[in-house]
A and B are shown apart, each in its own frame.
Chain A
Amino acid sequence: MTKLIKGTSRRGALKTLAGAAAGAASLPLWARYAQAQSSEPIRIGFQQHSTGIGAAYGRWYGRTTEAAVKLLNEGGGINGRMIEIIAEDDGTDPKRGAEVVEKFANQHGCDVGFGTLFSHVVIGSAPRAGELKLPYFVVSEGHHVASGMLNRYTLQPGITDVKSQVQAMAPYVSENLGKKVTMIFPDFAFGHDHRDFFTAAIEEQGGEVLEQIAIPPSETSFTKYFPQIPRDTEVLYHVMVGPAVLTFVKELGEFFGEQGPEIFGFIDSLEAVDISSPGLEFLEGTYFWEGMPRYAQEDQSEHEKFYREAVGVDENGASVSDPSDVSTYAHMFGCWETLHIIKAGMEASGYAGPLDRAKLIEAVEAMGEMPESRAHPQGAKRFNGKTHQVFGHQHISRVENGRLVRVHTTSIDDTMYPDEVDYTTQPL
C-alpha cells in the first residue's frame, strides 16, 4: 500500500500558523519576552490593606491604582514598558506588611513597592524595604518619613504629611472656631502625630489644648471616652480611623445634642462613610480637613474632573456604579499621583531593571515643583528631596445641607516646616 502524501495547501498552512500562534500565547510569560528583554513589564508591588481595619481604604486605593495604571499603560507605560501591579494583602498589620515587602523583593521580582497607608504598617515595613534596597513609595500621611525615622529607600511623594496638614489648620481653627481645644485621636503613630503637632501648632497661635483623649483604633464603643471632654472646651478636634468611625461620629452627636462646642474634624473620621447617614445631622455647620474635596466643587479643575471620571467617582464622592459606596476621596489621589511620579522618576533615570533602583531614588530626590496637571489632579506640589516628603495645598470644608463645601484652601507655604533629616546623606 502506498500512503497518500498531502501537499502543502493554503488551508493547511493557515492551520499551522494558527496553531503556532495559539502555542506562543500559551507559553509562560518569561519565554515571550526572551527575544526582547525591554518589553518585560515594570512590576509594582502594591501593599494593599484588603482586610483588617484599613480595608475600606484598601479597596479605594486599589480602584485608584487600577485607573492610574490603565491610563499610564494606554499612554505607552513607562519607557515603553507596560506596568503590572502585583497586589498583596497585608491585613493592615505591620508584621505581615514586612513579609509582603519581602515577597515583593524576593519572590515577585518587583521593581518597587508602593501604596501603603496605615502608619504602623509603614513603620513596620520600611526597615525591611531599606534592607532589601527596594524603593518603597508610601501613601500614608504619617510624619515618619519626614521625621527621619525611616530610610533612604522610603519616599512619600504623592501625599502630604500630618505635621504639615495640622500646622496649616491651626491658624484657621484658632481664628474662626476657638482657642481652647480638646483633641480626640486614635492611639497609634498617626494619631500621635496629630496630638504632638497640632498641640504645638495651636500653642503657636496663642491657643491651648485642654485635654488629649487617645482611643485604641480597634475600639467599637466611644461614649465612655467623651466625659473626659472638659466643659470649657471651645473646639473639639477629632480624627478617627477604623471600621467604627461612623459609630464614633454618631455617638459624638448623641453626646452633645444641640449644645456642645464647635467641631473640627479630619475627614478620616468619615472616609468611606456617607455624610447624610442617619444620626449625622448634627454635623451640619461643622468643619473638616480634606486632602481633596469629596464633593465636586463649583471650581473643580479639568484635571480633577478627568481624575474623578477615570476612577469612577460621582459628584458626591461615591462610586458611579453604587451611590452608597462612598470613596476615601481625601486620600486616594495619593496613589494616582505617586504612580505618575514613579513613571517620571523611572523615565528621568533611564530605569531598566532592579540594578537601577538607586538611580530611581536619586531621580525622585531631584524632583521639586510639580505643577497641577493630569498627573497631579489634587493640585500643585513641592517635593523635598532631602526629607522625602511632598508638600501641597490643604482644604477646609464645612458641612452645608449635607454636603461638604470648601471654605478655605491653604497655600503650600502654610504647610512648610524646617527639615528634620537629610536622607541624601545616607548611602544607597
Chain B
Amino acid sequence: MEFGPHLILATLEGAVTAAVLALTAVGLSLVFGVMRVVNIAHGEFYMLGAVIAWYVAQMVGGHPALGFVAALVIAPLVVGALAAAADVTILKRIEYDPERTIVATIGLLYIIQQLTLMTYGPEARPVEAPFGGRVELPWFDWFKTLFGMAQPWGWSITSYKLFVIFAAGAVLCGVWAMMARTRIGLLMRATQADRDMALAFGIPVERVYALVFGIGAGLAALGAVLIVPIQQAHYLMGVEPLLLAFIVVIIGGLGSLPGTVLAALFIGLSDGIISVFFSPTLAKILATLLVGLVLVFRPQGLFGTRTA
C-alpha cells in the first residue's frame, strides 16, 4: 500500500488502542496516586468488564445497541462494586502495606481469571457492535498521470472505531472534571496529598479508598466494554492491557492523570505506527526500552512529581 494511506490507517488503528489504553491506565494511575496500591489485578477487572458485557448483551437481546448500552452502564458498576468489596475485605485487612497489597492483588488476579475460566469458559465470545458501518476514506493521488480520487481496498475504518476514540475522550474529560471540580474529587486529592492530614480533617479515608478502587476498576471495565465489539471477551484478555497500562503509567508518572493520558496516546499511536511499518515486536521492544530509560533518568515519570 502507498505510504500516505498506510500512515493514516496506522494512526487511526493506533488511536483506538490509545483510547482504550488511556481509560485502563487512568484507572491504574488513580488507584496508585490516591491509595499507593500497585494493583496487579487491574487487567482482570478489564477482562471482567468484557465478560459481563457479553452476559448483559446475551440477556438483553433485541437490537445490539440495547445490549451494548445496558452493558456500558452495568458492567462498570458491577466491576466497580466487586473491586470496592475486594478493597474492604482484602486490602483494608492488610492495611495497604505495599508489599502485601502486591501479593494480594496477584492472588486476586488468579482467582478472577480462574473463576472466569470455570464459569464463562475458554472461548472468545463476541458482543455485537451497536453500529458498525464501514467508513470508506477517499484518497487523492496521481493515477497514471491523472489526478483523481480513488478508494483503494482497506482504505477504511468502521464508524464504531471512531466512536470508541470519541467515547474514551469524553469519559476522560469526565474523570478530569470529577477530580478537579467536584467535592468527591477534592476529597480524593486531599487523601492523595496527605492521608493522615485528610484523616485529621475528618475525611472518611477508608470510604474514599473503597470508592477510588471501585472507580479505577470501573474505568478498566468501561474500556473493555468499548473494545469488546472489536475484540472478543476472553478470560486471558487482561494480561496485555495490564502490561501496557503499567508501561503507560510509569512513563506518564505514577499518579499523574494528564501524564498518563499523554503517555497512553504516545504508546498507542507509536504501537500502531511501528507495528505497521516495522514489526509489532519492535513496538513492544521500544516501549519497554522507554520504560527502562524513564526509570533510570526520571523515576518519577515524565509528568510525575517527586514524592519524599
Q: Using a CB–CB distance below 8 Å, which chain A residues touch chain B?
A: 50-53, 55-56, 58-59, 216, 218-221, 223-229, 231, 243-247, 250, 254-257, 259-260, 272, 277-279, 325
Contacts and interface: CB of A to CB of B under 8 A. Distances in A.
Given A224-B13, A227-B154, A229-B154, 8 more contacts: A59-B122, A224-B272, A227-B9, A231-B1, A243-B122, A244-B124, A272-B123, A279-B128
A278 B128 contact: yes
Contacts of B9: 223-224, 227
A220 B231 contact: yes
30 contacts: A50-B122, A52-B236, A53-B236, A55-B123, A56-B122, A58-B122, A219-B280, A221-B231, A223-B9, A224-B9, A224-B10, A224-B13, A224-B275, A224-B276, A225-B276, A226-B154, A227-B6, A227-B154, A231-B152, A243-B122, A244-B124, A246-B126, A246-B232, A250-B126, A254-B157, A256-B153, A257-B156, A259-B153, A277-B126, A278-B129
A25 B174 CA distance: 66
Interface in B109-132: 117, 121-124, 126, 128-129, 132
Contacts of A55: 117, 122-123
Interface string B231-253: 11010110010000000000000
Contacts of B281: 216
Interface string B1-43: 1000110011001100100000000000000000000000000
Nearest to A52: B236
B153 A255 contact: yes
A59 B128 CA distance: 25
B305 interface: no
Given A58-B122, A216-B281, A278 B17 contact: no
B11 to A, nearest CB: 10
Contacts of B154: 226-227, 229, 255-256
A52 B234 CA distance: 11
Nearest to A245: B124
B134 interface: yes
A219 B13 CA distance: 14
Contacts of A231: 1, 152-153
A119 B276 CA distance: 27
B134 A254 contact: yes
B88 interface: no
Contacts of A254: 134, 156-158
Interface in B272-293: 272, 275-276, 280-281
Contacts, number: 97
Nearest to A261: B153
A243 B156 contact: no
Contact of A243 (B17, B232, B276): B232
Contacts of B280: 216, 219, 224
Interface residues of B, number: 38
A90 to B, nearest CB: 13
B43 to A, nearest CB: 13
Given A227-B1, A255-B153, A256-B154, A247 B231 contact: yes
Residues of A contacting B: mostly: loop
Nearest to B234: A243
B215 to A, nearest CB: 26
Contacts of B232: 243-244, 246-247
Contacts of B14: 224
B1 A247 contact: no
B136 interface: yes
Given A227-B154, A231-B152, A272-B123, A257 B276 contact: no
B230 interface: yes
B64 interface: yes
A228 B153 CA distance: 12
In the A-B complex, list the 6 residue pairs whose CB atoms are closest, starting with the nearest.
Answer: A55-B122, A243-B124, A227-B1, A243-B234, A278-B128, A255-B154
Nearest to B64: A278
Interface in B36-76: 64
A313 to B, nearest CB: 16
A254 B129 CA distance: 13
A279 B126 contact: yes
B123 A220 contact: no
Contacts of A277: 126
A244 B10 contact: no
B10 A227 contact: yes
B153 A260 contact: yes
Contacts of B136: 257
Nearest to A247: B231
B231 to A, nearest CB: 5
Contacts of A225: 275-276
B122 to A, nearest CB: 3
A51 B117 contact: yes
B277 to A, nearest CB: 9
User: Which of A216, A228, A254 has most chain B Cβ within 10 Å?
Assistant: A254
Contact of B236 (A58, A243, A246, A247): A243
A247 B64 CA distance: 18
User: Which of A52, A224, A278, A325 has most chain B Cβ within 10 Å?
Assistant: A224
User: Which of B17, B64, B122, B236 has most chain A Cβ within 10 Å?
Assistant: B122
Contacts of B272: 224
B211 to A, nearest CB: 31
